[in-house]
């Protein structure tokens, strides 16, 4: 089935998310949609899938103009989508998830689960998946969940398949498997749209590439184009893909973690006997596919996790068992991985957010009373120093762009008297300009002689910032390796292979 | 581990490491109850025998009454309770959870111990107690079913109390006007549905917080029914507020089984309707397309939307159905209990039903059992005040609420509400 | 940033389940924001709408209207006239009972209704502050009734039983009321912090527990019951513990109203100028971020409920020591515990808003009694109008749709 998008425009209020975008995908073709975060890729696909209605333009399938009032229509027309955030219900079984919305029923609406199980097995066999139809989705590993998404789309006879940032949650080897599946689907004659911002993947699998920026198509590229070419098309100017930094001036061991184990309330062991140390003036990057214990590690460092065993010492002082307040006071700066959830209070002003973790004691409070003058002066200085683009310090932080919100977090944390910086996904969902700025700040912090722990699932970022790299897999250290370790070795380590095995 | 293009790993290998984490809530709560009861026995020791009567006079099969020495029995059972609490501690220290049946056993021991003590020198009509418990639980069960359906679809229904009250009002009004209990019942369902329409409009269409809407709707219904009662019903009580009553019907054969028969099968039509409703809902929620879709919109509405399920339409239907069911429960007050409407006559039963929903972990059967437990507590209070118990009636009346606080804080354990419970669905 | 949904979500939930839970912000925060951000116009229109619905109720249930409607098709004007009379009568009575009674000549008597309004507003404001303060911390305190009962009964206990010098007696009674109400509230906050028990359920349950506790105290002569009495009622409050009247004996307005005004100022300071208030707001808007910023959210919950309960307890004392000094009864809360929720919602959980809402609802209450007395319209109408106001205020799009105002651009 041939898919054409003609002049799709979608506005949100005054913002134009998609500006007259046109795109053609032939059957048996993998068409890559490449763009930065916030370029409008997902909006476009939500329009295609009937989740949004386009303000202008039309969707054409095999020459027929379509009108989708909801995803049901899009599915009926033969469009299937593998969502970035899986559209699966965790507490349902695979068979229930696959049949949902498309149920075969018997008397009085009784579900025919056998029919669904058979359908799952049939499709799984055709593509060589191993999926048990009776398992609960929440018990499946992420890679298998993604296959359930694919089975769901195929069980509805989709001819056009959209993959929305499908590799964000996969290990490199799972990514390779997915690429293989996409090629298989291509040979089966499906039209495939592959949305990503990862250049490597694009060049590996795409037949055609369309680059969009700020909601507009900026051009087509050939899969043979270089990374630098693709990146500059995506961003609109030449981009420095590397971070400039000098050799580290290492001091003594500042952060020492020994046998750290973190268990959650349901008994899942997220961090399992972790030991490592960071020296003053050093950046240790934690690499790994998301969900391998990174979140819990950083939260344990800050005292946010309840069930922690082992020891964390900073400059000789034990941190395990202390409250968040005490750990912050001990000089730990923390950039959380999700600023919307953990970093900022959207309904409070820029100035209030800048003092969020300093509501105790001077300079912002005195005898329980807020010192508004000190707060506002400080806020104005930070907004200036960190180049936060905001109408004013009284503006609600929720109204700022992602990059500027992140700068508020960075400013707040770096302005304290630090002895350690923990930065989790510091550039997630941030524009390229802000990424460069934040990277410079991280390097400057390290050069000022502090130990820095950076967690990132983006291998590019890890390689750019690290002095050493620690790879986590299922809560354990696979290995701590130098920054110049080859990417394919790192990739293998992310699947749990030890460095020796990975090199061999 | 080998890497190949086709996945070779089995799910078992990939499953994350899990260790059992046990909270100390269960043993703590059990210990508190044990010590509490022991204190009661110590301070309020009084002798005599307690008789448990297992049959009523007109039963076909007569069972002998059981007479036991009050204090001895009570203390023996406290020992049992202490043993169970100790067992729970032992399990916890070995990082194993306290199984539900143990808690149930504890509850039974505690109840019987308490009864033996409280009724010393008197007789407990077991059949009457249990039968009364079922009857009193009717509005609670219907309310809990309403709550389960609504919350499983992702809409918190705090307005159960309002729906019960509206149902009671409409049942009295329609029943009196038409002179038929069944018409009254239909009116009750319709009134509950009307309240649900308001809940739906504000919570689903206008995304107003569901807890706030629910609480305010309850106030609205109280105001409205009280206003109409004073203004219309009370002055014309003969025509508008004297509904006919449902009579108890004995089901042949089943009704003659000892103990169970008179308890379960010599009840009114509303109770039988309740049995059917619970059974149908329990089946349909897990086994039918309706239930699958309903749970889907309650767990992950966007996922449901992406497979073409109309989320808000599904939610509306669920909320309206839930409202009608709660309305039926309200009819109990005016068509079974007392044949007339009075202001605020539900006495906050809807909130108890809500507690039953949470106590029952959003499952129809468990919620029903929880509602029955609350019904039992209310009946117990009545029975004890008749036989003259040493416990001040206020404390008996307080019991279900205290138990609920303990339950919510401790015994329920990790209950997982539907993931999207209370979250309005906004596209995009 | 684009207006499109963020392409990168939080991954915490994914780490656990592999799928994303719906990432919408908690809806009641949205609702509160809607209530807070809604403009004055919608508030006024919501009021108008609620009053219209109330009018319809009055008209429909009025005897004369129903008589006239029997011959509606021959003389529709009669029905309309009767309806108008009923509505006009109701709202005139409401006004005369709450603001200015123009039927009497003596101005000093004519303004009595206004002082009645202030008297009723006092406890509404205090309890509304208690509910509103908890709201700001993200807690839905439905336990106003229990906190009022405990506070009121405790105040009554001191007021009846303790023998203290005038002045000190009153102060002690007020403090004890705050303590009991505060502890009753803190219990819910503590359970939420320690066990995650939902405060809505717990506070509702504590309402009943509190009710029966007070009931018990009132049926024991050793505690609170008046000697040789069959009723669950205490002796009258000693004079030394009553709230003095502000404007002499002609008016029943007592010191409680001033206490409410002071409380408004204190709560305003707490919320807007104190570090504690800063932590309350942070915990209320985003508990995760607050926790990450080193704020002890659990302790904030407990303390905020302590303060909230103390405020509501003070409302109870206000009733027992000021408004009805003839003795403690189980219905001393007079529905204020629940009214407080609507007051807090209407007042947008802001101290000044709560002051305004409390005055409005106080007027409704004062006027409602007058309306019931002179027109025979049950005071329950006031409940209907109040709850409708809150519902409409929480759903501005509905109000705008009803009045065909242009829709505001979605935020």
From A13, A142, A324, residue closest to C410, measured CB to CB? A13
Which of B199, B192, B155 is CA-nearest to residue B362?
B155
Q: How many residues does chain A have?
A: 504
Structure tokens at B287: 């086994």
B51, B122 contact by CB (below 8 A): yes
Q: Is the pLDDT assigned to residue B340 strictly greater than 80? A: yes
B27, B409 contact by CB (below 8 A): no
Residue B235 per-residue DSSP state: G
Kindly report whether the peptide bond that precedes residue A363 is cis, defined as omega within 30 degrees of 0.
yes
What 3-state DSSP class applies to B23?
coil
Rounded CA separation C178/C149 (Å): 11
C376 domain-assigned: no
Preferred mutation among B7, B22, B312 to probe A, highest tally of A CBs within 10 A = B7
Q: Which residues pair with A311 in a beta bridge?
A: A258
C224, C234 contact by CB (below 8 A): yes
Find, in chain C, the residue whose alpha carbon is nearest to that of B26: C195
Structure tokens at B44: 């309020």
For residue C57, what are the contacts with CB-CB under 8 A and spacing of at least 6? B224, B227, C381, C384
Please report, for chain C, how many H helices and E strands are present, in that order: 18, 0
A169 contact residues in C (CB cutoff 8 A): 14, 18
pLDDT in the model for residue C207: 93
pLDDT in the model for residue B137: 92
Which of B270, B319, B321, B284 is CA-nearest to residue B137?
B270
Which of B200, B427, A347 is CA-nearest to residue C32?
A347
pLDDT in the model for residue C20: 30
C109 CA to centre of own chain: 28
Domain limits at C275?
Answer: 121-358
For residue A473, what are the contacts with CB-CB under 8 A and spacing of at least 6? A288, A292, A493, A494, A495, A496
CB-based burial label for A406 (10 Å; 0-12, 13-18, 19+): buried
pLDDT in the model for residue B422: 77
Rounded CA separation C128/C311 (Å): 9
H-helix or E-strand containing B42? helix B25-43
Q: What angle do CA C287, C290, C296 make, to 5 degrees?
A: 95
pLDDT in the model for residue A488: 84
C58 domain-assigned: no
B232-241: long-range contacts (C-beta < 8 A, 24 or more apart)? B232/C61, B233/B172, B233/B173, B233/B341, B237/B340, B239/B176, B239/B177, B240/B172, B240/B173, B240/B176, B240/B177, B241/B172, B241/B173, B241/B176, B241/B340, B241/B341
Q: How confident is the model at residue B21 (pLDDT cuts 50, 70, 90)?
A: low
Give the CA distances from residue C226 to residues C149, C229, C252, C328, C329, in Å, rounded to whole numbers and listed in that order: 18, 6, 25, 10, 11
C317 domain-assigned: yes
From C195, C391, C394, residue closest to B409, measured CB to CB? C195
What 3-state DSSP class applies to A122?
helix
Q: Is the pLDDT assigned to residue B400 strictly greater than 80? A: no
Rounded CA separation A385/A262 (Å): 37
A441, A465 contact by CB (below 8 A): no
Q: What is the DSSP string of C205-240?
A: HHHHHHHHHHHHHHT-TTTTSPTT-SSS--PPPPGG
pLDDT in the model for residue B52: 84
Rounded CA separation A427/A402 (Å): 9
Q: State phi, psi for B125 to the nearest 5 degrees.
A: -80, 95
What 3-state DSSP class applies to B341?
coil
Which of A96, A105, A106 is CA-nearest to residue A155?
A96
Q: Give tens-digit pLDDT for C358-371.
A: 999 999 999 999 88
Give the CA distances from residue C234 to residues A102, C166, C330, C391, in Å, rounded to whole numbers and listed in that order: 67, 20, 10, 38
Mean pLDDT of the B26-39 span:
88
B227 CA to centre of own chain: 29
Rounded CA separation A307/B345 (Å): 48
What 3-state DSSP class applies to A293?
coil
C212 contact residues in B (CB cutoff 8 A): 394-395, 397-398, 401
Q: Is the pLDDT assigned to residue B408 strictly greater than 90? A: no
Scanning B172-211 for CB atoms below 8 A from C yields 198, 201-202, 206-211
Q: Which residues pair with A81 in a beta bridge?
A: A162
C158, C404 contact by CB (below 8 A): no
Minimum distance, in Å, between the CA of residue A134 and any CA atom of chain B: 12
Which of C115, C166, C185, C167 is CA-nearest to residue C337?
C185
pLDDT in the model for residue B11: 36
H-helix or E-strand containing A405? helix A402-414
Rounded CA separation A296/A222 (Å): 41
pLDDT in the model for residue A459: 83
Enumerate the domain spans of chain B: 25-121, 133-365
Pairing verdict, β A468-473 and A476-482: antiparallel
Rounded CA separation B270/B267 (Å): 8
Q: Give tens-digit pLDDT for C294-314.
A: 999 999 999 999 999 999 999
| Helical residues (DSSP H) of A218-349, grouped into ranges | 227-235, 294-302, 324-329
Place of tokens 């036991």: B68
Residue B411 per-residue DSSP state: I
Q: How many residues does chain C have?
A: 411
Q: Give tens-digit pLDDT for C59-106.
A: 888 888 878 877 888 888 888 888 888 888 888 888 998 888 888 888
From A15, A341, A360, residue closest to C275, measured CB to CB? A360
Q: Is the pLDDT assigned to residue C38 strictly greater than 60? A: no
Q: Do A105 and B303 touch (CB under 8 A)?
A: no
Most confident of A111-115, C148-152, C399-403: C148-152
Scanning C248-277 for CB atoms below 8 A from A yields 273-277
Find, in chain A, the residue whose alpha carbon is nearest to that of B292: A100
Preferred mutation among A139, A179, A267 to probe B, highest tally of B CBs within 10 A = A267
A265 contact residues in B (CB cutoff 8 A): 21, 414
Pairing verdict, β A332-335 and A420-424: parallel
A355, A378 contact by CB (below 8 A): yes
Mean pLDDT of the B194-202 span:
95
Number of structural domains (chain C) is: 1
Q: Give tens-digit pLDDT for C166-193.
A: 889 999 999 999 999 999 999 999 999 9
Q: Is B299 on the interface with A (CB under 8 A)?
A: yes
pLDDT in the model for residue B59: 67
C194 CA to centre of own chain: 27
C32 domain-assigned: no
Mean pLDDT of the B161-186 span:
95
pLDDT over 70, % of chain B: 91
Rounded CA separation A63/C45 (Å): 51
A263 contact residues in B (CB cutoff 8 A): 19, 21
In chain A, the N- to C-terminal Cα span, in Å, equals 45
Between chain A and chain B, how many beta carbons pairs sit less than 8 Å apart?
138
Rounded CA separation B395/B44 (Å): 14
Which of C301, C385, C398, C292 is CA-nearest to residue C346?
C385
Q: How confident is the model at residue B17 (pLDDT cuts 50, 70, 90)?
A: low
Mean pLDDT of the B375-404 span:
79
H-helix or E-strand containing C389? helix C380-394
C343 domain-assigned: yes
Q: Do B220 and C387 touch (CB under 8 A)?
A: yes
B173 contact residues in C (CB cutoff 8 A): none
Of A357-371, B360-374, B382-396, C238-252, minimum mean pLDDT range:
B382-396
C206 domain-assigned: yes
Q: How many CA within 13 A on the CB side of residue C31?
A: 30
Mean pLDDT by 10 residues, chain A (504 residues): 91 84 92 84 88 90 90 90 89 93 85 92 88 90 88 91 85 83 91 86 89 88 84 79 82 94 85 94 91 91 92 94 94 92 92 93 88 95 92 90 90 94 88 85 94 90 92 91 89 82 58
pLDDT in the model for residue C183: 97
Rounded CA separation C184/C186 (Å): 6
Q: Which residues pair with A480 in a beta bridge?
A: A470
Q: How confident is the model at residue C165 (pLDDT cuts 50, 70, 90)?
A: very high
Rounded CA separation C173/C210 (Å): 19
CB atoms within 10 A of CB C60: 15
What 3-state DSSP class applies to C138?
coil
B92, B22 contact by CB (below 8 A): yes
Residue C28 or residue A290, greater confidence: A290
pLDDT in the model for residue B249: 87
B18 contact residues in A (CB cutoff 8 A): 266-269
Find, in chain A, the residue whose alpha carbon is nearest to that of C280: A359
């Amino acid at each position: 089935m041939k898919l054409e998008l003609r002049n799709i425009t979608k506005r949100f209020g005054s913002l134009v998310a998609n500006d007259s975008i046109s795109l053609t995908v032939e059957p048996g073709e993998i068409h890559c949609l490449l763009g930065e975060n916030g370029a409008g890729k997902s909006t476009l696909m939500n329009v295609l899938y009937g989740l949004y209605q386009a303000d202008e333009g039309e969707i054409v399938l095999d020459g027929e103009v379509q009108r989708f009032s909801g995803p049901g229509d899009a599915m009926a027309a033969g469009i299937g989508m593998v969502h970035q955030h899986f559209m699966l219900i965790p507490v349902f079984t695979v068979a229930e998830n696959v049949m949902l919305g498309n149920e075969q029923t018997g008397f009085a609406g009784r579900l025919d689960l056998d029919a669904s199980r058979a359908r799952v097995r049939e499709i799984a066999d055709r593509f060589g998946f191993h999926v048990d139809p009776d398992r609960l989705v929440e018990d499946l590993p992420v890679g298998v969940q993604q296959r359930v998404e694919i089975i769901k789309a195929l069980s509805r006879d989709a001819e056009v398949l959209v993959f929305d940032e499908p590799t964000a949650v996969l290990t490199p080897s799972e990514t390779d498997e997915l690429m293989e599946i996409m090629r298989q689907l291509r040979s089966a004659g499906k039209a495939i749209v592959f949305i990503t911002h990862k250049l490597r993947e694009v060049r590996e699998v795409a037949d055609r590439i369309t680059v969009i920026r700020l909601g507009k198509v900026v051009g087509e590229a050939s899969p043979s184009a270089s990374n630098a070419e693709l990146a500059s098309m995506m961003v609109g100017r030449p981009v420095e893909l590397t971070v400039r930094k000098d050799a580290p001036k290492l001091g003594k061991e500042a952060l020492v973690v020994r046998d750290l184990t973190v268990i959650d309330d349901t008994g899942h062991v997220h961090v399992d006997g972790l030991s490592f140390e960071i020296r003053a003036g050093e950046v240790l990057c934690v690499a790994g596919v998301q969900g391998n214990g990174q979140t819990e590690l950083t939260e344990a460092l800050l005292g946010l996790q309840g069930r922690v065993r082992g020891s964390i010492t900073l400059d000789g002082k034990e941190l395990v068992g202390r409250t968040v307040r005490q750990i912050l006071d001990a000089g730990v700066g923390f950039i959380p991985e999700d600023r919307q959830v953990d970093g900022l209070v959207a309904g409070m002003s820029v100035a209030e957010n800048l003092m969020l973790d300093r509501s105790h004691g001077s300079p912002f409070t005195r005898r329980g009373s807020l010192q508004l003058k000190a707060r506002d002066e400080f806020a104005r200085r930070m907004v200036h120093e960190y180049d936060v683009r905001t109408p004013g310090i009284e503006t609600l932080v929720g109204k700022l762009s992602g990059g500027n919100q992140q700068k508020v977090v960075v400013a707040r944390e770096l302005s304290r008297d630090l002895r350690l910086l923990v930065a989790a996904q510091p550039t997630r969902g941030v524009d390229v300009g802000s990424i460069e700025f934040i990277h410079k700040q991280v390097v400057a912090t390290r050069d000022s002689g502090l130990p820095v722990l950076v967690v990132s699932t983006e291998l590019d970022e890890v390689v750019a910032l690290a002095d050493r790299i620690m790879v986590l897999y299922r809560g354990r250290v696979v290995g701590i390796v130098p920054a110049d370790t080859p990417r394919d070795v790192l990739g293998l380590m992310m699947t749990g292979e030890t460095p020796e095995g990975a090199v061999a | 581990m080998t890497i190949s293009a086709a996945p070779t790993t089995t799910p078992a290998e990939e499953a994350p490491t899990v260790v059992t984490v046990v909270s100390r809530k269960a043993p703590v709560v059990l210990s508190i109850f044990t010590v509490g009861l022991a204190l009661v026995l110590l301070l309020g020791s009084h002798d005599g025998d307690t008789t448990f009567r297992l049959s009523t006079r007109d039963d076909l099969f007569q069972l002998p009454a059981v007479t036991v020495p009050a204090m001895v029995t009570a203390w023996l059972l406290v020992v049992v309770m202490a043993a169970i609490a100790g067992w729970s501690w032992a399990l916890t220290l070995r990082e194993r959870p306290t199984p539900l049946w143990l808690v149930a056993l504890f509850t039974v021991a505690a109840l019987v111990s308490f009864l033996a003590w409280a009724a010393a020198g008197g007789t407990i009509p077991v059949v009457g107690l249990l039968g009364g418990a079922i009857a009193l639980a009717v509005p609670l069960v219907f309310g809990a079913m309403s709550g389960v359906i609504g919350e499983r679809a992702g809409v918190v229904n705090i307005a159960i109390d309002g729906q019960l009250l509206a149902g009671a009002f409409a049942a009295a009004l329609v029943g009196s006007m038409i002179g038929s209990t069944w018409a009254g019942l239909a009116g009750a369902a319709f009134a509950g549905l009307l309240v649900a329409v308001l809940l739906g409009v504000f919570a689903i269409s206008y995304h107003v917080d569901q807890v706030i809407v629910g609480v305010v709707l309850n106030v609205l219904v109280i105001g409205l029914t009280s206003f109409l009662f004073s203004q219309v019903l009370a002055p014309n009580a003969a025509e508008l507020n004297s509904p006919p009553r449902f009579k108890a019907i004995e089901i042949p054969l089943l009704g003659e089984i000892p103990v169970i028969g008179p308890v379960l099968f010599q009840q009114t039509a509303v109770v039988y309707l309740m049995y059917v409703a619970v059974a149908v809902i329990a089946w349909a929620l897990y086994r039918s397309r309706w239930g699958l879709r309903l749970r889907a919109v309650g767990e992950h509405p966007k996922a449901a939307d992406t497979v073409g399920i109309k989320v808000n339409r599904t939610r509306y239907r669920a909320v309206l159905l839930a409202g009608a069911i709660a309305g039926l429960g309200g009819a109990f007050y005016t068509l079974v209990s007392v044949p007339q409407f009075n202001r605020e006559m539900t006495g906050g039963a809807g909130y108890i039903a809500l507690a039953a929903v949470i106590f029952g972990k959003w499952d129809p059967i468990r919620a029903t059992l929880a509602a029955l437990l609350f019904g039992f507590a209310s009946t117990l209070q009545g029975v004890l005040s008749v036989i003259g118990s040493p416990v001040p009636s206020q404390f008996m009346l307080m019991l279900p609420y205290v138990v609920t606080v303990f339950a919510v804080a401790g015994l329920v354990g990790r209950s997982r509400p539907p993931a999207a419970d209370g979250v309005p669905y906004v596209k995009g | 940033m684009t207006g499109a949904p963020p392409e990168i979500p939080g991954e915490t939930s994914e780490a656990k389940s592999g799928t994303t839970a719906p990432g919408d912000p908690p809806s009641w925060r949205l609702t509160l924001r809607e209530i807070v951000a809604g403009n004055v116009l919608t508030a006024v229109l919501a009021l108008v709408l609620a009053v219209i619905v109330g009018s319809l109720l009055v008209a429909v249930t009025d005897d004369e209207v129903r008589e006239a409607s029997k011959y509606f098709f021959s003389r529709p004007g009669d029905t309309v006239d009767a309806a108008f009379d009923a509505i006009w009568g109701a709202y005139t009575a409401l006004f005369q009972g709450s603001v200015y009674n123009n039927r009497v000549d003596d101005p000093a008597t004519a303004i009595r209704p206004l002082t009645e309004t202030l008297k009723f507003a006092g406890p509404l404001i205090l309890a509304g502050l208690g509910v509103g303060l908890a709201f700001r911390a993200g807690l839905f305190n439905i336990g106003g009734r229990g906190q009022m009962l405990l506070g009121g009964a405790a105040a009554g206990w001191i007021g009846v039983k303790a023998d203290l010098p005038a002045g000190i007696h009153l102060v002690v009674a007020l403090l004890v009321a705050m303590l009991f109400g505060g502890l009753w509230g803190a219990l819910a906050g503590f359970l939420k912090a320690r066990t995650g028990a939902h405060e809505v359920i717990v506070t509702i349950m504590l309402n009943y527990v509190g009710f029966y506790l007070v009931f018990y105290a009132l049926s024991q002569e050793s505690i609170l019951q008046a000697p040789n009495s069959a009723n669950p009622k205490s002796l009258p409050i000693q004079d030394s513990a009553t709230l003095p009247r502000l404007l002499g004996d002609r008016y029943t307005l007592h010191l409680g109203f001033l206490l409410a005004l002071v409380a408004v100022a204190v709560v305003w300071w707490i919320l807007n100028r104190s570090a504690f208030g800063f932590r309350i707001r942070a915990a209320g808007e985003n508990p995760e971020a607050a926790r990450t910023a080193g704020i002890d959210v659990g302790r904030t919950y407990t303390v905020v409920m302590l303060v909230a309960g103390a405020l509501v307890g003070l409302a109870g004392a206000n009733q027992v020591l000021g408004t009805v000094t003839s003795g403690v009864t189980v219905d001393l809360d007079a529905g204020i515990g629940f009214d407080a929720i609507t007051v807090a919602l209407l007042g947008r959980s802001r101290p000044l808003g709560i002051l305004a809402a409390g005055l409005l609802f106080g007027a409704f209450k004062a006027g409602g009694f007058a309306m019931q007395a002179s027109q025979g319209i049950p005071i329950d109408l006031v409940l209907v109008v109040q709850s409708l106001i809150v519902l409409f205020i929480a759903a501005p799009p509905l109000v705008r749709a009803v009045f065909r105002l242009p829709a505001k651009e979605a935020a």
